Structure 1
């Protein structure tokens, strides 16, 4: 059943399935096991500027976690110092005494307590009151706008795809979508993106030996030899990855440094992400989805924030991120993790003990190159005259976060940022991350 936002409507809270046709791409998809998906087809528009910037990748591996459904930043990173917070949320707000204190004004929801050591050691930062430059409360439209990051432009590629287009791809694992989510618009661009549900099941269905894999790889390459360039590139990426994944999964994986991932999809996916990054495959960008944040009802009680929908979601998110950082060890020095969500939630709770679609939000940034231990951004306040139609105002354009990471951790020049973030004219750095040595 589709949930409806009491103010704006939420007709796009669920997405209809689309039937597929029999094509070369569909044939290859059908041959892959249940844990595998076909690579996305690259979009070859606006690539003239990309050749000039081609170079070997020397930046961080950027891991983008999309919190699908509208993450409630107000209950995740609680403005305990704002006197209007609990007045807006008398039934679902988190009292100051129940939070994990970050500073004199903000506290973490107790479900995110696993992240506190990362905040304390300076590898985790929060940017609050961030989001799209203009309110957009449609799941689909807001996601597309955020992933394209090309407001007012006719550009159809995504910001990650354009970033990858600035360099020479490092191989079939340059860009990877992991887990059970859809391949996001953010990776659309000239570089094929390898999409897989998990490493263990990334294979051709029924093919279990190296000799059989070699025969199938040859056959698939011959079948697609006359295909258009984008289809051929996608096929070559998939075929090239099959033997590599088989080699990686030939031995059992044991997370390093005593890391223990939570059970469930997110823990399993981040464990695979750590595994492929540490395997030295030249991973430049990874995307993954964490859904189930559209909490229009039953978010959780103020009297017991250690229960309810929000609690369960945040415990999984916090413990999975903490395990990932521990497992990665020194590899986190060259890895930056971003959480993004299409919009935040309304400041006022609704009659169902939930929150409808809002605007301003909280973003987590994690990595060895992060100037952490701080909540960034200008707090706009939750007073009636300080909000926008009952929502937390956005005081930091989310593209400012992207620009800082791209400039300092990926090595993009100011000129290149104009290609990756067309139309953006804000700061290119604001102290969030350290420049790479």
Structure 2
């Protein structure tokens, strides 16, 4: 098995309005130059050409690096892929339609945690109860897109683009790291299978599966002990006067080692062995290294539960909820002092139907719940306007809070970036889940 190659997408160039060719974007001293290319194991796109970058064994002295600026705040977006059932995670126990519509899979009111007059948490979320009780975790119900979209792929792309009607294929997190108020060196990082739509765009962002295995593609010490590949890239483009040459030289000059992150204690065994647990272990270790990452995305399992969801005793929902809660709790515990600047938000492409189907599962719906945890959160409460449920075959949880209002409130409270830039054409409503908002 070879070491992992990490993709980094996003062009550090703009298109020439006459030729359409990518052009260098300012001087190498500009703070925004090749954001994210400073990390290891990256494939940067210059126009249609991929340039693979990464750690440079044996060649570090030949390539300039940039100074690392620790991020002042960090946003972690945890995507519950497959459309999680928010009505199971945060149960509206006071709404009679909930129990009428789910005769076999409803979560009993007596089993709920953090219960108030209207809502309660699924009992499998018990590992998060200390964060809830200490005011570090909150939930916003009946959130989602303004118009239902029940296609997993189309909905996730629309959700992560967060600019309905725009012809520009740029994700909201890419726009966020492009804002000069978000002042850090590396900025965008996706841990998992690759870059999500939210990080696609003109600003560079990096991805890896595991911090430990992050290396230059083809540059593993076992196969390239002298760093020949990195030197070859530098030599190949050193004298080029083309925009491509300038871009490659700028990319190589922006590289920094992941050493500060890899030097942090690897405490993966304190996380669940699930893919989410190991991903969050890498995220925590990276953030503890203070290498400038300010935006992180992570995917959490498969929540597409059309059949046999199970009960609170056992089943797919209980297992997934337990893993989610245990992983998030372990993540914040492992961060140590860095936790004081990390805010995590969960998001899913849509919710599930109110009424269970004949297979004791749930079909695609609309409204959902979002969890917000960590720094700046006014926790221990449920937020949002409850629309009520209907016990009919095609009933959905209606959306009363646009998901962008939740994200925009976090962006405004924690980053100082322009929400008008990050969410173009959108006017946010007050949610109240963040301090000062």
Query: What TM-score comes out, normalization by structure 2 length?
Result: 0.80
Shift of 1:200: 1.2
Residue deviations 1:145-184, cap 9 Å, x none?
100000122232110001111127633x3211112x3311
Is the Cα–Cα contact under 8 Å of residues 71 and 184 in structure 2 kept in the other structure? no
Shift of 1:217: 2.5
> 1:93/1:278 Cα in 2 relative to 1: closer, same or farther (>3 Å)?
same
Separation of aligned partners in 1, 2:194 and 2:130:
32
Separation of aligned partners in 1, 2:326 and 2:272:
6
Is the Cα–Cα contact under 8 Å of residues 345 and 355 in structure 1 kept in the other structure? yes
Separation of aligned partners in 1, 2:409 and 2:264:
38
Separation of aligned partners in 2, 1:137 and 1:231:
44
What residue in structure 1 maps to residue 303 of structure 2? 293
Shift of 1:44: 6.0
> 1:57/1:331 Cα in 2 relative to 1: closer, same or farther (>3 Å)?
closer
Separation of aligned partners in 1, 2:245 and 2:94:
53
Instruction: Name the one with the larger helix percent.
Output: 1
Residue deviations 1:202-250, cap 9 Å, x none?
1244633899365432223344565855994699379825xx2356435
What residue in structure 2 maps to residue 433 of structure 1? 434
Matched, 1:36 2:46: no
Separation of aligned partners in 2, 1:82 and 1:231:
61
What residue in structure 2 maps to residue 98 of structure 1? 111
Residue deviations 1:67-109, cap 9 Å, x none?
1110111001111111111111111111111221332221111
> 1:275/1:433 Cα in 2 relative to 1: closer, same or farther (>3 Å)?
same
Separation of aligned partners in 1, 2:252 and 2:173:
18
Question: Structure 1, unaligned stretches of length 5 or more?
Answer: 1-31
Shift of 1:353: 0.8
> 1:286/1:149 Cα in 2 relative to 1: closer, same or farther (>3 Å)?
same
What residue in structure 2 maps to residue 20 of structure 1? none
SS at match of 1:177: strand
Shift of 1:433: 1.1
What residue in structure 2 maps to residue 265 of structure 1? 275
Matched, 1:128 2:141: yes
SS at match of 1:135: coil
> 1:220/1:362 Cα in 2 relative to 1: closer, same or farther (>3 Å)?
same
Q: How big is the alpha-carbon RMSD for the aligned residues of Structure 1 and Structure 2? A: 3.3
Paired residues for 1:345-360 under 5 Å: 345-360=352-367
Is the Cα–Cα contact under 8 Å of residues 261 and 287 in structure 2 kept in the other structure? no
Is the Cα–Cα contact under 8 Å of residues 83 and 348 in structure 2 kept in the other structure? yes
Is the Cα–Cα contact under 8 Å of residues 192 and 233 in structure 1 kept in the other structure? no
> 1:249/1:297 Cα in 2 relative to 1: closer, same or farther (>3 Å)?
same
Residue deviations 1:407-431, cap 9 Å, x none?
111112xxx222211121232x432
Question: Structure 2, unaligned stretches of length 5 or more?
Answer: 18-24, 33-68
Separation of aligned partners in 1, 2:128 and 2:414:
22
Is the Cα–Cα contact under 8 Å of residues 177 and 183 in structure 1 kept in the other structure? yes
Residue deviations 1:108-128, cap 9 Å, x none?
111111111111101111011
Matched, 1:170 2:180: no
> 1:143/1:224 Cα in 2 relative to 1: closer, same or farther (>3 Å)?
farther
Is the Cα–Cα contact under 8 Å of residues 43 and 157 in structure 1 kept in the other structure? no
Shift of 1:142: 0.5
What residue in structure 2 maps to residue 403 of structure 1? 408
Matched, 1:190 2:202: yes
> 1:353/1:161 Cα in 2 relative to 1: closer, same or farther (>3 Å)?
same
Is the Cα–Cα contact under 8 Å of residues 207 and 213 in structure 1 kept in the other structure? no
SS at match of 1:212: coil
Query: What TM-score comes out, normalization by structure 1 length?
Result: 0.80
Separation of aligned partners in 2, 1:74 and 1:94:
9
Separation of aligned partners in 1, 2:142 and 2:355:
16
Matched, 1:366 2:373: yes
Is the Cα–Cα contact under 8 Å of residues 339 and 365 in structure 1 kept in the other structure? yes
